[in-house]
Structure 1
Amino acid sequence: MRRIVRTLCSVIFILHGLSVGQVKTGADLLFEKYAHLVEGKRIGLVTNHSALLSNGKHLVDAISESRRARLVALFGPEHGVRGDAPAGKKIIDARDEKTGVPVYSLYGQINKPTPEMLKDVDVLLFDILDVGVRFYTFESTMSLAMEAAAEMGIPYIVLDRPNPIRGTWVEGFIRLDSLRSFVGLYPIPVAHGLTMGELATMINNEGWLKNGVRADLKVVKMEGWKRTMWFDETGVRWVKPSPNIAGLATAVVYPGTCFFEGTNVSEGRGTDRPFETIGAPFVAGEQLARELQSYGLPGVVFEPIKFTPRDIPGAASNPKHKSIECGGVFVKVVDRNVYEPVRTGIAMLSALKKLYPNDFQWRNSIDRLSGTPMVRLRIDAGEKPENIVAAWKVELAGFGKLREKYLLY
């Protein structure tokens, strides 16, 4: 009997090993194989709390403790180097409490490292976990830091990490040039299916940096990562990349439900499940759920809920409809492999406009988030969601050819 149990345990272990790999990130490989890139150099590092090595040590601490290079400057994106500032809160310059290294904010009055900040830097590194979505501000921080390095003649190294929602999923409109902003610096779709290293290579090689400047860019590629992998199949430790992307389930829906930041409907900030919880005081959850279920969207069901947004220290400060009970739906993904997040987000916007035309309102940011006024205008005109989706699929054929040139895996 014991032998049978041991055999079964072995089989389970083997099967688990086949389904969950151990991907080595660029940060781990920097120390294992590519230390020569930083040997004896003064290092600037653009990073946040997500830059963990496989042993659990933060990259900031690992470089600081290393005798092979000297950490001289840290650059923090939205939410800061330690990742504890709420969304949208401006970050000020300071010193890292643990290492004493100066920290320069790239989310506040300044979004791009200045020559003064970089004057003592020999090599500028970037290591931040992204979520594979155009309007996630870490992508803009990555590219602007690369632009600054290029202008100063400083080598720029991206330590690559997995795209949590796979390196295959591409969806949504390509951003129009007239809507260029910090939540959309480049003409790419909402979900681009690229890693940060691939995106950096595309931006650099396509001449999208200011004045067409080119960076001396090096990507330290991952080992063991496959494009079809969800983050929980990589074996890499999950660290929430920002306060309201607490888990992979949130990252899965985020490409579509972030659109609600551009409306008067709550995107769930101030709840325990932001971006999965959608609603407003004027919404009847049962009615909205029935409407959405009738659309036959793949891989998702909509559960009627009630919720009351509240302040959550470090995650939500004065969220939409604070302290007011809202009706709405919980976006429950039941098959992530067929779920289409942006299509689902468009359908939800359409349903709310249809059911509550006198209450539902757009905010100015909706066009920047969607990358086009077409979403807003077509929904206002009563067009069916599937017609809006069909419009971006034409655009994506051209982007697919461009994207193919920059795939590293």
Structure 2
Amino acid sequence: MPALRCGADRLGEYKHLFKDARVGLVTTPTGRTSDGRSTIAALQQAADLRVLLGPEHGVRGDGAAGAFIPQYTDAATGLPVFSLYGKDSKRLTPAMLETFDVLVYDIQDVGSRYYTFLSTLAYLIEDCAGAGKRLVVLDRPDPLGGEIIEGTTLRPGMESFVGCYPLPTRYALTIGEFAQMVNAEQHFGCDLTVVSCTGWQRGQSAPAWGTPWIMPSPNIPNYETALLYVGTCLFEGTNVSEGRGTAAPFAVIGAPYIHDAEALAAAFNARGLPGICATPYYFTPTFSKHQGQLCGGVHLHVLDADAVRPLSAGLTLLELIRDTCPKDFALLPPHTEGGRPFISLLAGHRELERPDWTAAELIKAQAPDEAAFAARKAAYHLY
């Protein structure tokens, strides 16, 4: 098996795309070549790099979740930096569009629809098409392997920045494949080039790549977290801690009103879900939800990454906490009056607002969507 080379490693083969052009780069700390250089440095050698643009968390990864970052000058390069995660806009503004002729995107995704980098990329495709700008996506593999699909397809009317496109929760595409799908299905007509990876085969998840795990955001510290995130991110829409403010975000789940962690772990394990188990856990988050309060809950452990279905695990745990703590468990209210609850934006449907849903019925109901999406996405496979 040849060593993995991502799109950023192949910039030298694509210099013609940048000839006589002012270049902008959308990236994060995951934008690095296989020899450890930042894509910023690599692109400075290959092209006339004029401007940096950052999604949520920023170009250097120094922005907290949900934090808005104003325009500034990058200390390392002296280049202007614009935020694509502003309070008033998450799109390319006229001021940004004036700074480049070709825009390059290089960000490692996590394989879950919730991740806002996907929304940023979808907006870039549309905005570059409208402005007549070329977009170059430096592809990276799907860290979850690119084969297994989980979840219902985002329903009409549930679009948001944590669910921008009709995808299942775990969509099994690379960012380059996703870009091709959006451009084709929406008929944007973007001048899009995807610089594909070499040395990667579909089905190879991040542990098989032989490269370091660079945290794609502050609360995805390792591969196991990214895998569990497919299911446990749903807890962000509830009054249960998803483990932010602990050493194991999205693996540690609990709340102050869960007083018997042992019973919750036993109930979860009794469901017999493949590839995963829970141990009882008590924790006090240092920030975010329930900061400074002792919480009871579970620590989820991936035993077999190929067998586990993290969305099924997340739904099962959600159901158990709802049923064992009916007086205390609650969905968080919508951010705006008359809006949709955040858990529904994450789920992509409104079934979790029903008081009597079960994990088994939801898992069964998503199977047709998974099969349909498998057929739909195959047209855009690069690997």
Q: Report if aligned partners of 1:22, 1:236 keep a CA contact under 8 Å in 2.
A: no
Q: Which residue of 2 aligns with 1:156?
A: 135
**Deviation per CA, 1:11-58, whole angstroms, max 9, x where unpaired?**
xxxxxxx6xx62100000112x22222233210111111100111110
Instruction: Confirm whether residue 309 of structure 1 aligns to residue 285 of structure 2.
Output: yes
The answer on 1:43 being equivalent to 2:23 is: yes
Distance across 1 between alignment mates of 2:305 and 2:208? 13
TM-score, normalised relative to structure 2: 0.95
List gaps (5 residues or longer) in structure 1: 1-17, 312-318
**Matched residue type, 2:276:** V
Q: 1:361 and 1:181 mapped to 2: Cα distance?
A: 22
- Map residues 76-115 of structure 1 onto 2, 5 A cutoff: 76-108=54-86, 109-115=88-94
- Secondary structure of the equivalent of 2:182? helix
Q: CA RMSD in A?
A: 1.2
User: Is structure 2 residue 349 aligned with structure 1 residue 368?
Assistant: no
Q: Does 1:121 align with 2:97?
A: no
**How far does residue 376 in structure 1 lie from its aligned partner after superposition?**
3.2
Aligned to 2:324: 355
The answer on 1:25 being equivalent to 2:3 is: no
Per-residue CA deviation, residues 254-300 of structure 1 (Å, 9 max, x unaligned), is 01000000000000000011000000011121111011011111101
CA distance in 1: counterparts of 2:315 and 2:160, whole angstroms: 21
The 3-state SS of whatever aligns with 2:95 is coil
Tell which structure's C-alpha radius of gyration is larger. 1
| 3-state SS, counterpart of residue 24 of structure 1 | coil
> Which residue, out of 305, 320, 324, partners 1:336?
305
Tell me if the contact between 2:11 and 2:43 (Cα under 8 Å) persists in the aligned partners: no
With 186-195 and 91-100 compared, the bigger mean Cα shift is at: 91-100
Q: Which residue of 2 aligns with 1:324?
A: 293
Taking structure 1 as the reference length, the TM-score comes to 0.89
* Amino acid paired to 2:230: P
Contact 2:138 2:194 in 1 (8 A): yes
Q: Equivalent residue of 1:46, what SS? A: strand
Does the 8 A contact of 2:265 with 2:298 survive in 1? yes
- 8 A Cα contact 1:253 1:341, kept in partner: yes
Shift of 1:374: 1.3
Superposition deviation, residue 154 in structure 1: 0.8
Deviating 4+ runs (over 3 angstroms): none
Give 2:335's aligned residue: none
**What residue is the counterpart of 2:159 in the other structure?**
180
Displacement of 1:162 after TM fit?
Answer: 1.2
SS in structure 2 at match of 1:116: helix
User: Residue deviations 1:133-164, cap 9 Å, x none?
Assistant: 11100000111112111111111110000111
- Alpha-carbon shift at residue 116 of structure 1 (Å): 2.0
The residue number in structure 1 matching 2:230 is 255
Is the Cα contact below 8 Å between 1:106 and 1:112 reproduced in 2? yes
The corresponding residue for 2:274 is 298
Instruction: Letter of the 2:376 partner, please give it.
Output: L
CA distance, structure 1, for counterparts of residue 43 and residue 317 of structure 2: 45
Shift of 1:119: 1.2
Task: Judge conservation of contact 2:150–2:168 (CA < 8 Å) in 1.
Answer: yes
**What residue number does 1:15 align with?**
none
Give the secondary-structure state (helix, strand or coil) at the position aligned to 1:177. Answer: coil
**Count of residue correspondences:** 373
CA contact (8 A) 1:375 1:388 kept: no
Q: Residue 111 of structure 1 aligns to which amino acid in structure 2? A: K
